[in-house]
Amino acid sequence: MRFMSIVTAKDFMHPTPELAEAIHKIADREIKAGRMIDTAGLMPLATGARVTIKDGKLSVVDGPFVEAKEVVGGYAIFELQSKEEAVALAVEFMQLHKDFMPGWEGTCEVRPYFEPGAEGVCDPLAEARA
């Protein structure tokens, strides 16, 4: 089962050298184990753009985005056996931030990929109809 871990924070911050080294060690371990498929940190909001549809109109806005309350700083994609495994990796990853970047605050969201047979998961009324 594939999972994506998405790291968000209030502000973009470069990792300390110690944090970068610790993250590299986990990534290397997970790649060698065949569990990590891809990972990357993302550039600051000022380097991006948003494409939005609102009220039937499509618009493109270059960053930075003043209304952004949090920033997606990076992601990782894993092939794992369970959600519990994915959460355990996220806890380990976030502990590195706590250990090597005191004062940093953020979130690591863990989400499974949509797979065949999960059609009702995206339907908020599926349980009511069952």
**Separation CA 35–CA 19 (nearest Å):** 21
Query: 71: buried, middle or exposed (CB in 10 Å: 19+, 13-18, 0-12)?
Result: buried
Q: Please, what is the average pLDDT of the chain? A: 89
Q: What is the 3-state secondary structure (H, E, C) of the chain?
A: CEEEEEEEECCCCCCCHHHHHHHHHHHHHHHHCCCEEEEEECCCHHHCEEEEEECCEEEEEECCCCCCCCEEEEEEEEECCCHHHHHHHHHHHHHHHHHHCCCCCEEEEEEECCCCCCHHHHCCCHHHHC
Residue 120 above 80 pLDDT? no
Q: pTM for the complete prediction? A: 0.82
Domains (range + CATH), the chain = 2-112 (3.30.70.1060)
The mean pLDDT of 112-128, rounded to a whole number, is 68
- What confidence tens digit (pLDDT) does each residue in 75-87 have? 999 999 999 999 9
At which residue do the structure tokens 């908020």 appear? 124
